[in-house]
Structure 1
């Protein structure tokens, strides 16, 4: 059995969280101690909060007067409500909360049924039940309960940077999966913006959103996380970062941004992406070749299908980089021109027919060995020189962006400059 203990000052929040969950038929109230219980399994949230408040002394130095505990038996242990209730009471007695007001809830929102306990830790005289060595005391008690009730030993899974990352499984414990993925990603990858963070989260069907606002006159800045399906649609209500752990919160992620700035070296990733970009025949080929180099690329599109964002996730260096961090040639605008605009313009351009060489020496006559229709269009074979002052600064052999015949910004800019010179000449 695994016990998770947190002390807090948010008594009402804990009652609401548990009460709303079981009132939506995702569990039931098993029992209470010194708090009203009508026996229906549901909770009158306001009444429960009022009952708790009656037990809180008017003067106390304790800043965090309540404790929220979750008791999680091994998934293979199948227990009745009576057994769960008995285990909860015995656990609270051994932890020193036997005489304190508390409520025991059973949660059934996931396959592994478990208990949550909300309790006060401030006695009527204002003294507080110490939380010193809670972890070791709790672990010892849960081992005793496992032996007493014949339960299987359950250990909290340790998450390390080497722990495998998997996509969210909709049939599993979503909260646990999201929390584990966030913890591993935060340990393993380096990112500097919420967009880069979401790019790597998205590989595992998770999305993060910032939440800013005011509640009761106080500003708050937080994060919420969504578990997604393969189409990017949420499959459950969002999880507040505070429910997942401090590692998922705004402060922790903002701190990650700052540390990443000092450690990221873009050169290895840039060299690999540049090499692939030169050799790629199109966007799909570009994506596939990057995958071979252990790099994922995430494109973001407008409703019209235009690329407006691109992020590279290098699983060798663990760097997550927006395209513009690598240089202009790797920005969303540059890749939009290379992969989309060139393709569209080439499809709209008339086929080019080269005029055969006239070997007869007579104007208007064609070589007798050719067979070209008189009505065939003849393309202008003259070429304009490219201005070296291009927007895409990259010096790689064979690397060039083409914007098609219908648009030539170099010629247009040259024409504008010549017009300005002529106007200045007339004024003189």
Structure 2
């Protein structure tokens, strides 16, 4: 039944799915979730996005199914998510044989019809936003989502420190949280905006409010995949050469500016005495984050400290590190008031995969749908 105001809620939409789910409780993965992302240069109206979504579902054989088309801008540009069911009105499972290949073919066809930029000529990954988060503008959750999602997708990093350094470029910080429930320790993440000095401002946002793709489990998986990738793909020699050339600059500012001109950001960590005890490099060309020692001793914090920091008497070869196994800083109050961080949502967020069926056990996370552009 339609709501009185004519604007259906997520609850109304989910109830329209219930008869289909009840007709077949045996199918392991009854829900389909597709994300269609036109190129940023493709300017489309809501009506055009809806038409593309409807035509996509028709061509994929889901035209007679109940489905939701949801317009989203969490990655800094308009795109749509489509959620539907693989079970028809008679309880039969819709054929999904070679669905991925068919979907790709349909997307290419729609690109030609609507004169969109072809995805095959573009990298199929989200580009970084052009603007940093500005907490004065409000709507912090969507601003932060527009940073952390493409960063998670497009860059390679192996630790929370490296991830945090990368987010800091866009005035975002992240912190791991822990909560013990029935003797079991659960982990989570919260994100927050920062000001020009890197200090946290505004309220913290639970990762669950942004999406599972930027949650604790996804981050650990990202660390593992990045480590595997870096084993097979060593840091480019060009990156090392660029840093070596920058180290010939007489001043710290000159060093940093030289690297910036080569598409590399260097994050220097120093203590109250002015001793540089750590360095993280962000190579925007290869989209890789790594600590200085990963390149070799000649690129490490000790070398940079001798060049641009403060060398303590008798410590020329070994730079003292204060509490090296602990985070450099911890923003006070970042996790205060978030005791419900691990509480489940009543209904799934349509910007993410639907991983829980109203009938039956929890389903495995589905693979993301194909991208349109």
Does 1:297 pair with 2:260? Answer: no
Partner of 2:159: 193
Does 1:310 pair with 2:234? Answer: no
Instruction: Give me the whole-angstrom Cα distance separating, in 2, the residues matched to 1:87 and 1:160.
Output: 21
**Match runs of 1:316-335 below 5 Å:** 320-323=289-292, 326-327=296-297, 330-331=300-301, 335=305
Partner of 2:119: 156
Unpaired segments ≥5 residues, structure 1: 1-35, 343-385, 395-400, 402-428
Partner of 2:362: none
Instruction: Give me the whole-angstrom Cα distance separating, in 2, the residues matched to 1:270 and 1:70.
Output: 38
Larger Rg: 1
**Counterpart selection for 2:97 from 110, 113, 132:** 132
- Structure 2 contact 246–256 (Cα < 8 Å) conserved: no
1:202 positional shift: 4.5
Partner of 1:393: 317
Instruction: Give me the whole-angstrom Cα distance separating, in 2, the residues matched to 1:241 and 1:208.
Output: 14
Instruction: Give me the whole-angstrom Cα distance separating, in 2, the residues matched to 1:275 and 1:391.
Output: 25
**Counterpart selection for 1:64 from 14, 24, 29:** 29
**Counterpart selection for 1:119 from 84, 100, 105:** 84
Alpha-carbon spacing, 1:38–1:324, altered in 2? closer, same or farther (3 Å):
same
**Match runs of 1:140-179 below 5 Å:** 141=106, 151-156=114-119, 160=123, 168-169=130-131, 179=149
Write out per-residue CA displacement over residues 91-143 of structure 1, whole angstroms, 9 at most, x where no aligned residue: 43443223333334444778865543322212355432133333444455567
Unpaired segments ≥5 residues, structure 2: 134-141, 320-373
Partner of 1:98: 63
Alpha-carbon spacing, 1:289–1:91, altered in 2? closer, same or farther (3 Å):
closer
Alpha-carbon spacing, 1:222–1:255, altered in 2? closer, same or farther (3 Å):
farther
3-state secondary structure, aligned to 1:253: helix
- Structure 1 contact 210–223 (Cα < 8 Å) conserved: yes
1:284 positional shift: 2.9
- Structure 1 contact 196–321 (Cα < 8 Å) conserved: yes
Alpha-carbon spacing, 1:242–1:289, altered in 2? closer, same or farther (3 Å):
same
Alpha-carbon spacing, 1:52–1:234, altered in 2? closer, same or farther (3 Å):
farther
1:66 positional shift: 0.9
**Equivalenced residues, count:** 302
Write out per-residue CA displacement over residues 8-44 of structure 1, whole angstroms, 9 at most, x where no aligned residue: xxxxxxxxxxxxxxxxxxxxxxxxxxxx332635344
Instruction: Give me the whole-angstrom Cα distance separating, in 2, the residues matched to 1:212 and 1:156.
Output: 41
- Structure 1 contact 323–332 (Cα < 8 Å) conserved: no
Q: State TM-score, norm by structure 2.
A: 0.54
Aligned-pair Cα RMSD in Å: 5.6
Instruction: Give me the whole-angstrom Cα distance separating, in 1, the residues matched to 2:120 and 2:304.
Output: 45
Instruction: Give me the whole-angstrom Cα distance separating, in 2, the residues matched to 1:316 and 1:84.
Output: 32
Larger RCO (CA under 8 A, 6+ residues apart): 2
Partner of 1:283: 252
1:254 positional shift: 1.8
**Match runs of 1:11-30 below 5 Å:** none
Write out per-residue CA displacement over residues 167-214 of structure 1, whole angstroms, 9 at most, x where no aligned residue: 63369x97677655544433xxxx543323443554566666556668
- Structure 1 contact 121–129 (Cα < 8 Å) conserved: yes
Alpha-carbon spacing, 1:38–1:114, altered in 2? closer, same or farther (3 Å):
farther
Give the stretch that moved more between structures: 283-292 or 123-132. 283-292
Q: State TM-score, norm by structure 1.
A: 0.49
